[in-house]
Amino acid sequence: MERIPPNIKRLFWDVDKESVDVRVHRFYIIKRIMDYGNVEEVRWMMQNYTSEEIIEVVRKSRGISRKSAYFWSAYFRIPLEEVECLKEFSRIGPRPF
């Protein structure tokens, strides 16, 4: 198991930091860094994950903020219509019936 480095542990306030695996939990780690990471943490993300892995998170995640989604889709030149959290049904929220 490859653990997250000490300098990014602050991003994982809601879980046992020692149980977060860099490979197994990559989707979760990338999302956290996209939304809450500083320059150093983003640099670590870019060095430890491929562009394809990061782009997959941007495209598929409904859990990143709209601000992060717009930034990362522009950075990787992903068409906005391919970003799940920016689609209309993702913004509406749950409906009771």
User: For all residues of the chain together, what is the average pLDDT?
Assistant: 91
From CA 28, how far away is CA 19, in angstroms rounded? 13
Q: What number of other Cβ atoms are within 10 A of residue 58's Cβ? A: 24
pTM: 0.86
Q: What is the pLDDT of residue 1?
A: 87
- Domain boundaries defined on the chain: 6-79
* pLDDT-based confidence at residue 38 (cuts at 50, 70, 90): very high
**pLDDT score for 89:** 61
- Its sign, for the CA torsion 38, 71, 27, 92, is positive
Q: Which residues contact 26 (CB under 8 A, 6 or more apart)?
A: 49, 53
Q: Which pLDDT score, from 0 to 100, does residue 95 have? A: 54
Report which listed range, 15-19, 70-74, 87-91, is most confident. 70-74
